[in-house]
Amino acid sequence: MFFKWTPEQVKAKISERVQKCRLELNLSRQGLADRSGVAFSTLRIFEREGKISLENLLKLAAALGELEAFSQLFTLKKEDISSLDELLEADQQRQRGRRK
């Protein structure tokens, strides 16, 4: 089933999941901040409001053992490619966007 989420909903869901992972590992906010190198105040704001830089989000993911999930973002899906030629063509597609 296809769900259309807003950026706000995605932010909320990601921050909720990070908090859940933290609690499952029995880590306090300070413990995760120390382990990840992300400031305690940044982590607190992220868990409450979903606001965080990509760099800090990746640090949290690494500290929680979830960094691998980010390698799956923006990849071609198997159903998008039906032949080896299409795979090679996808690899050689334009590297810059056109100006408008």
What's the whole-number average pLDDT of the chain?
A: 84
Residue 5: predicted pLDDT: 83
For 41-74, write each residue's pLDDT tens digit.
999 999 999 999 999 999 999 999 999 988 878 7
CATH of domain 7-91: 1.10.260.40
Q: Is the predicted pLDDT of residue 33 greater than 90, yes or no?
A: yes
Q: Is the predicted pLDDT of residue 2 greater than 60, yes or no?
A: no
pTM for the whole structure: 0.72
Residue 1: predicted pLDDT: 42
Out of 31-35, 58-62, 73-77, least confident range: 73-77
Q: Is the predicted pLDDT of residue 93 greater than 90, yes or no?
A: no
For 72, counting Cβ atoms within 10 Å of its Cβ (0-12 exposed, 13-18 middle, 19+ buried), the class is exposed
How many residues make up the chain in this entry? Answer: 100
Domain assignments of the chain as residue spans, ordered by start:
7-91
Residue 65 backbone zone (phi > 0: left; psi -120 to 50: alpha; other: beta): left
Helix runs in the chain, H state only: 7-24, 29-36, 40-49, 54-63, 84-91
